Amino acid sequence: MKICITSEGKDLNAQIDSRFGRCKYFIIYDTETMQYEALENSWKEAIGGAGIQAAQFVVQKGAKKVITGRVGSNAEMVLKKAGVSIIDFEGKVTEAIKKLMEEDND
């Protein structure tokens, strides 16, 4: 399963960015292969619509869950309509992945 984690940096040791639409990076992590890619958020400086654009991007990338802080109502609507779960989490990207994997194995 692919998950998306909003991140302040390009690697798994980075802190989770609490802003969904205006995060610095999206880390797309595959829980089956344990491979990931870090993608810069092209909409972080947008005047408006950053959350919606980011949500559409995450859906296109095939993520089934998003780990982040705050998600605006418009972005939340796009994600939920596509069946993407939103998980509120603070800490490092690695901590979020570990917690998610433990919960999925229970």
Phi, psi angle pair for 29, to nearest 5°: -115, 130
**Domains present along the chain, CATH in parentheses:** 2-105 (3.30.420.130)
Secondary structure element (H or E) that encloses residue 30, with its range = strand 25-30
How many Å is the Cα radius of gyration of the chain?
12
Q: How far apart are CA 99 and CA 97, in angstroms?
A: 6
pLDDT per residue rounded down to tens, the chain (106 residues) = 999 999 999 999 999 999 999 999 999 999 999 999 999 999 898 888 899 999 999 999 999 999 999 999 999 999 999 999 999 999 999 999 998 888 876 6
Q: Which residue has the tokens 């984690």?
A: 5
